[in-house]
């Protein structure tokens, strides 16, 4: 079982990964690499989930009723997140994505250890397992896609 500190460190890895994208040109960041998505779109997609989950963490901190589950309309949520990011300059988006992930980590560190490991009502997840599956593994999946593409750019 991981602690909040362990999971926070795993979540923090994404900020380092995104920081490492800053030397790349707008052209590289905006080129389609997976379906219709670019690196910018992927980062915007991840940022959308971070922003959404910060609200959930606030509810947990305030002892409100929370159901840990995937969004009821993932496709629409992803499309909205990508559309939002496309309105930003690529490097501004990278900075914002780092900021949102840091906010998520700050909020996570306000959660009690008991809330972190308890099974949530009507959910198959604890906060720990949800973050590992829906965020950390998700980050790794997209990082791999981006890295495979960037190896072809050099």
Instruction: Indicate the pLDDT class of residue 127, thresholds 50, 70 and 90.
Output: very high
| The CATH classification of domain 4-153, taken from the options 1.20.120.450, 1.10.1370.30, 2.40.110.20, 1.10.3720.10 | 1.20.120.450
pLDDT digits (tens, 9 = 90+) for 61-81: 999 988 887 778 899 999 999
Chain center to CA of 28: 21
Task: State yes or no: pLDDT of 104 exceeds 80.
Answer: yes
Point out which residues pair with 32 in neighbouring strands.
Answer: 38
pLDDT digits (tens, 9 = 90+) for 130-152: 999 999 999 999 999 999 999 99
Asked whether 104 and 57 are in contact (CB, 8 A), the reply is yes
Query: Given this model, what pLDDT does residue 75 score?
Result: 93
The percentage of the chain sitting over the pLDDT mark of 90, rounded to a whole number, equals 86
Six-digit token string for 46: 């991840």
Instruction: Indicate the pLDDT class of residue 154, thresholds 50, 70 and 90.
Output: low
* Distance, CA of 138 to CA of 105 (rounded, Å): 16
User: Looking at per-residue confidence, does 70 or 7 come out higher?
Assistant: 7
Query: Given this model, what pLDDT does residue 59 score?
Result: 95
Give the residue extent of every domain in the chain.
Answer: 4-153
- What is the pTM for the complete model shown? 0.94
């Amino acid at each position: 079982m991981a602690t909040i500190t362990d999971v926070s460190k795993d979540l923090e890895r994404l900020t380092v990964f995104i920081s490492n994208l800053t030397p790349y040109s707008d052209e590289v960041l905006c080129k389609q690499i997976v379906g219709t998505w670019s690196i910018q779109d992927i980062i915007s997609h991840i940022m959308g989930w971070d922003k959404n989950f910060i609200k959930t963490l606030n509810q947990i901190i305030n002892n409100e009723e929370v159901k840990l589950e995937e969004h009821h309309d993932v496709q629409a949520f992803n499309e909205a997140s990508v559309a939002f990011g496309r309105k930003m300059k690529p490097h501004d988006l990278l900075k914002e994505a780092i900021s949102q992930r840091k906010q998520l980590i700050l909020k996570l560190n306000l959660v009690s250890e008991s809330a972190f490991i308890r099974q949530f009502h009507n959910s198959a997840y604890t906060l720990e397992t949800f973050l590992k599956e829906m965020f950390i593994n998700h980050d790794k999946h997209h990082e791999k896609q981006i890295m495979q593409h960037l190896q072809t750019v050099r």
